[in-house]
Structure 1
Amino acid sequence: MGLLSPRDILFLCFCILIHYVYRYRRRPALPYPPGLPRWPVIGNALSIPLTYMHVFYKNLGDRLGTKILYMEALGQPIIVLNDAHVARELLERRSGLYSGRPEIPMLNDIVEANIFFALLTYGNEWRHHRRAFQQYFSSKNQYRADERAIEFVRKGLLPNLYQAPQDVHEHVRSCMGGFSTSLTYGLPTRRHKDPLVLFAEDVFAGTNVAGAPGKYLVNIIPALKYIPDWMPGANFKRVARELRNETNRLVEEAYEMTRRSMDEGTPLSDCFVSGSLEHIQNRADFEPQAQRIKQAAGQIYAAASETTVVATMTFILAMLTHPDIQRKAQQEVDSVVGFDRLPDFSDRSHLPYLSAIIKEVLRWNPVTPLGVPHLTTEEDIYEGYYIPKGCTVFANIYAMLHDEKIFPNPTEFKPERFIKGGATSHDILDPENMATFGFGRRICPGSHVALSMIYIAAASILTIFDISPMLDEKGNPAKVVPEFMAASIVSEPLPFQCKFTPRQGKNVESLLQEYLHVEVI
């Protein structure tokens, strides 16, 4: 039951053939942007790699001498923008045409994760979700995120690194996951292995891989979503089914825990869900608005956690592999913060070198190297090139931030790129304000929250710890070669080992005294 008959299969093939014949007969008068030669019907489907697509597209653009590429995969047109100026021109100045979202088959159709507003089609529903976010996380309310960030770094990250320095990655994830849980749902979290944080880590890891352009072939050849579950190669459907159940469970359970606490009058930390629900409690359309808040909360939770984890782990990796830069940053922090306290946000404007380091972290390893793709809602013409309607558009953030003309020796970690005359330079493409968090109407609305957490984590770590290599069996420092995930939306560093040692001249025990025995934040 449910299997296609030979006649059905022949009819389906005939329809597909007619579709492609029609498509190819409607070629525009203007040329497409440069790209690789395309085979009939399949286009470039066999040429697009499944890993490190951002690197492939950058190298292809360099080889062809173009900043805008055109590809096709089984009739789906794809535009890749390797230049920030071109991205601004199209995704911002013509945002009305470029604010759609293509369906990512694995995520949208099979996992059914399109409840998150980052994946929603541009329109009224997307506006409702984004408005709820902006009402709570407006710049005038930034103090909420700043206070929570300091709390989780001091009560969670620093004590954990001090007491169990070998588990760096676990501690960063616990801190950032707890921060996201508190900010979104107001729920208390354990500083060690909180069950909700651990569950969320697994879910978000799965969705990041599912949404990656190259991990699953169905994201390149959408027609594969129709193959029966029993067919060879359809294991991705089983993975998606499990991920769908876990995603729904995470979104529902965390939200219901907050609602239950509100109904029972149990004290909660100020958070997005409680604040947003209280804002709409007297509205006639409370239930549909509450549903949107629940869905938006899942998006906020995922984005806040993943962005900060990736950037913080990249910062630690950079300090580990560049000890001279680490020492220079520590000297700057000491000159401002001194030796008898921990840094806070009042120090931020007085730490230009640390600011440059954070910018270089975001440039060196962009958190989302290909961004989240846009979709053209109408056809367009740019620089004499034809861009079709329904075209998937990737802003290749990696290529923009590794452009040799703007950033010489781009694979080198060099914070001095962003320093001029002893202060932060504004004469160069800024990863914090351009590219890293997207473009146009689809730009990440929570970038200021993420940047605050990254800053306070980096400043605090530099204040009390030295980051150094582990020793090998001969007692020599083990060499660490930076490597990053090959097939995921996010570019997290692959696991590496390092030592966190209290700095000489710092009374770490005294600085952390009131936080060392806190178990629940």
Structure 2
Amino acid sequence: LQDIIFICLCTLIHYNYRHRQMSTLPYPPGLPRWPIVGNAFSFPLTHMHIFFKNLGDRLGTNIMYMEALGRQFIILNDIRMAKDLLEKRSGLYSSRPELPMLTEVIGAKYIFGAMPYGNEWRSHRRIFQQYFSPKNHHRVEERATEFVRKNLLPSLFQTPQDVHGHVRSCMGGFSTSLTYGLPTHRHRDPLVLFAEDVFTKIASTGMYLVNIIPQLKYVPEWVPGANFKTVAREIRDDAYRLMEEPYQATQKSMDEGTLSDCFVLESLERNRSRPNFELQAKRTKQAAMQIYGAASETTAAATMTFILAMLTCPDVQRKAQQELDSVVGFDRLPDFSDKPNLPYLSAIIKEVLRQISSSWNPITPIGVPHLTTDEDVYEGYYIPKGCIVLANSYAMLHDETIFPSPTEFKPERFLKGGAISDDVPDPESVATFGFGRRICPGSAVALSMIYVAAASILTIFDISPALDEKGDPVKVVPEFIATSVVSDPLPFQCRFTPRQGKNVEGLLKEYLNLEVV
């Protein structure tokens, strides 16, 4: 017992000495702070990613420290720094800050992306990774190809004016099929529309005062000003319905033997003989809802941004079409076997993910916050425990020392000698989908859908500006709105014209009359 007490005492002394030594170091550079509120009045309500990039440029630093209403923040504007902390020291930087509105008031502690780092998070991530492992990726590619051909291309051919709706319907249907194995309507599927509404509401939970003053969660719903409790109850009910209804439909199809391959089916079958099957089934149900939401929203935002880029950069569009024609020819649609021979198209997708018009935003401009689980020292600066760390992917992907002329759309920056260059950071694996252990586990799914959608669209369509009543082209100015953690282009007008020399109707003939995929 004396030995144990001695060891504990030595450990405590060492910890206190280390803490005192570390805490005497300075915080990273930042703005002057007011008592109590800190930098609360300096935080912008919109375009936070641009504010932090400009602030870093003004202060001459890529790491900054700010405080607001008792919370401490570290902002990273540099890829190297983000990798140093969020990847190389991921054991300290992989948790998430609490969102009481989401986890306590609504009760959605099962949201994988918001879970604190720990065993429950690892269990959920394992469920994701088992299905979306590289050995299963061919199934994702087959499903993505199917939905582009049966859903997106026929819709753009028949009613091209509703491009935004068609893209969201296709990506929502793809996610539903991949996750639950359920058929969806090509146009305005009820489940797809309901899911969009639910995830939009869930995304809004970060704006409520209860996240700053957690004690408000104890206020009864009937108290004036506690309308957030009413909102929470509605979101809770909708989220429960979204989790249960497609899951139950999937189980019914399983019992009838009519279910196609999907995440839920494989996950349940894999765990059926385990003693903790009920717990695994519950986690599968929770994970399924989130796979649907993440896959649908990210792929829709990226595909719409690709279309917008081709609309505003016609020379890039023509060059990509020439490459596709030389590889795919004129008598078929592209597939994944063509991808290694399409370096320019691959470079376009990387540049789309980087999103580089001065008025454009990255897919996830400020990223999902990380949280430190212990204090740390980096480059002589003190980083406290419980500090929120923001990886500013916008600043990283606009770094002029890495991406010269960052406001120009230049796919060529990713090419060297006619092939993809290894000398430039790849947005497919850096910044766009996060860092370290919290990187999006479904990024390969999103990239597969973006590729096959982009290749197929450019193979059979010319994308051009819509015409006004006088027959003049309608000017398009890229504008974006944050729908959750992603940045989505606002709806815009354009034309999809079948390309000359392409028998588009013949290529799509077997898909044009499909109403359900």
**Corresponding residue for 2:488?**
492
The CA deviation string for residues 79-115 of structure 1, in whole angstroms up to 9 with x for no partner, is 1111110010001111110111111344333333331
**Corresponding residue for 1:458?**
454
1:354 alignment partner, SS class:
helix
Which stretch shows the higher mean deviation, 228-237 or 480-489? 228-237
> Any residues of structure 2 matched to 1:8-27 within 5 Å, and which?
none
**Corresponding residue for 2:430?**
434
Which stretch shows the higher mean deviation, 483-492 or 51-60? 483-492
**Corresponding residue for 1:14?**
none
Counterparts of 2:225 and 2:327, CA distance in 1:
58
> Any residues of structure 2 matched to 1:11-410 within 5 Å, and which?
28-211=23-206, 215-216=207-208, 218-219=210-211, 229=221, 234-263=226-255, 265-364=256-355, 365-410=361-406
Aligned residue pairs total: 493
1:381 alignment partner, SS class:
strand
Counterparts of 1:42 and 1:105, CA distance in 2:
20
Counterparts of 1:486 and 1:318, CA distance in 2:
18
Letter in 2 for 1:415: P
Which stretch shows the higher mean deviation, 218-227 or 310-319? 218-227
The CA deviation string for residues 27-85 of structure 1, in whole angstroms up to 9 with x for no partner, is 93111111111111111112111211111111111111111111111111111111110
Letter in 2 for 1:157: L
Deviation at 1:257, TM superposition (A): 1.2
Cα distance, 1:506–1:203 mapped onto 2, change above 3 Å: same
Deviation at 1:152, TM superposition (A): 0.3
Cα distance, 1:105–1:479 mapped onto 2, change above 3 Å: farther
Counterparts of 2:483 and 2:193, CA distance in 1:
21
Q: Percent identity?
A: 73
CA contact 1:74–1:221 (8 Å) conserved in 2: no
Counterparts of 2:456 and 2:374, CA distance in 1:
48
The CA deviation string for residues 256-305 of structure 1, in whole angstroms up to 9 with x for no partner, is 11122223x23111001011001111111110111111111112111111
Deviation at 1:217, TM superposition (A): 5.2
2:299 alignment partner, SS class:
helix
**Corresponding residue for 1:15?**
none
Deviation at 1:474, TM superposition (A): 2.7
| TM-score normalised by structure 1 residue count | 0.91
Deviation at 1:193, TM superposition (A): 1.2
**Corresponding residue for 2:15?**
none
2:238 alignment partner, SS class:
helix
Deviation at 1:408, TM superposition (A): 2.3
Which stretch shows the higher mean deviation, 230-239 or 42-51? 230-239
Letter in 2 for 1:359: K
The CA deviation string for residues 156-197 of structure 1, in whole angstroms up to 9 with x for no partner, is 000011011011011101110011001001111111111111
Letter in 1 for 2:454: A
Gaps of 5+ in 2: 1-19, 356-360
Cα distance, 1:510–1:488 mapped onto 2, change above 3 Å: same
Gaps of 5+ in 1: 1-24
Deviation at 1:118, TM superposition (A): 1.4
Counterparts of 2:320 and 2:208, CA distance in 1:
41
Cα distance, 1:171–1:80 mapped onto 2, change above 3 Å: same
Cα distance, 1:468–1:437 mapped onto 2, change above 3 Å: same
Cα distance, 1:313–1:236 mapped onto 2, change above 3 Å: farther
Letter in 1 for 2:442: G
1:492 alignment partner, SS class:
strand
The CA deviation string for residues 101-156 of structure 1, in whole angstroms up to 9 with x for no partner, is 11134433333333121111111111111111111111011011000001000000
The CA deviation string for residues 438-472 of structure 1, in whole angstroms up to 9 with x for no partner, is 11111111111111110000000001111111112
Cα distance, 1:46–1:111 mapped onto 2, change above 3 Å: farther
CA contact 2:79–2:396 (8 Å) conserved in 1: yes
Cα distance, 1:117–1:370 mapped onto 2, change above 3 Å: same
Which stretch shows the higher mean deviation, 345-354 or 405-414? 405-414
CA contact 1:45–1:220 (8 Å) conserved in 2: no
The CA deviation string for residues 232-263 of structure 1, in whole angstroms up to 9 with x for no partner, is 76544443332222112101111111122223
2:257 alignment partner, SS class:
coil
Letter in 2 for 1:492: D
Q: 1:420 aligns with which of 416, 419, 422?
A: 416
2:488 alignment partner, SS class:
coil
Deviation at 1:375, TM superposition (A): 0.7
CA contact 2:22–2:376 (8 Å) conserved in 1: no
